[in-house]
Structure 1
Amino acid sequence: MSEADTPPDKTTVNIRITETFLADVDGTWKELGYNSRSEFIRDVLRDAVKHPDFDRADLKAMLASEVDIQEGRTSSSDEVKDEYDLGDGATDDE
């Protein structure tokens, strides 16, 4: 195996979390099909580093939207236009 094919060295990092949170983490990585807790945590940290502008509020909004879609709480574009008095898309200047 060449040096280019050698995986980078890994360092162990210890964190403290509650048993309850650890149980949530364990349930999540298994449910999402990860092979291990470490693989899941590395992926989550990688996403946080690569996408620092994507925050908890964004995630909550996405999850809330997904629940609305799954429960059939959606609106057509015409309903949204009517609700916000957007008419047919024409502006007052036209």
Structure 2
Amino acid sequence: MATSTDEPEKTTVNIRMTESQLADIDAAWKEAGYGNRSEFLRDIARDAAKHPEFNRADLKAMLASEVEIQEGRTHSSDDVKEQLGIDDGDAGDDDE
């Protein structure tokens, strides 16, 4: 039966983890602005279940990129082309 706010009924789930894992989770939910640990854990469980194609390496790369953007360490496409030695005239030249 739904609650008065039409939210689905919630079930309590017990999990075991180390104290250090719990400390990491507590720091993460507070830093992310969640109201409590349960909200945070529900969101990460839902995201993991709905988006299993994301793995840890992908998430770490995305986070690293986000940090670079926030710190202003971005590059224009022209900068990248220059670093890689790519000339716009080279694109599609398979005749050589």
* TM value normalised by structure 1: 0.79
User: What do the CA deviations read for 1:39-80 (whole angstroms, capped 9, x no partner)?
Assistant: 110011001111111111111101111222233332221121
Look up the match of 1:61: 61
Tell me how large the CA RMSD over aligned residues is: 2.6
**Alignment of structure 1 residues 39-50 onto 2, 5 Å:** 39-50=39-50
Q: Could you tell me which residue of structure 1 aligns to residue 51 of structure 2? A: 51
* Amino acid of the structure 1 residue aligned with 2:22: L
1:3-82 to 2 correspondence within 5 Å? 6-82=6-82
List gaps (5 residues or longer) in structure 2.
none
| Cα deviation 1:8-53 (Å, max 9, x = unaligned) | 3322111111111111111111222212111110011001111111
Looking at structure 1, the residues matched to 83 and 6 of structure 2 have their Cα atoms a distance apart, in angstroms, of 59
Question: Secondary structure in 2 aligned to 1:29?
Answer: helix
Task: Quote the residue 1:92 is aligned against.
Answer: 93
| Structure 1 residue runs without a partner (length 5+) | none
Counterpart code for 2:93: D
3-state DSSP of counterpart to 1:15: coil
Percent identity over the alignment is 65
Equivalences, count: 93
Give the partner amino acid of 2:92.
T
Moved >4 Å (runs of 4+):
none
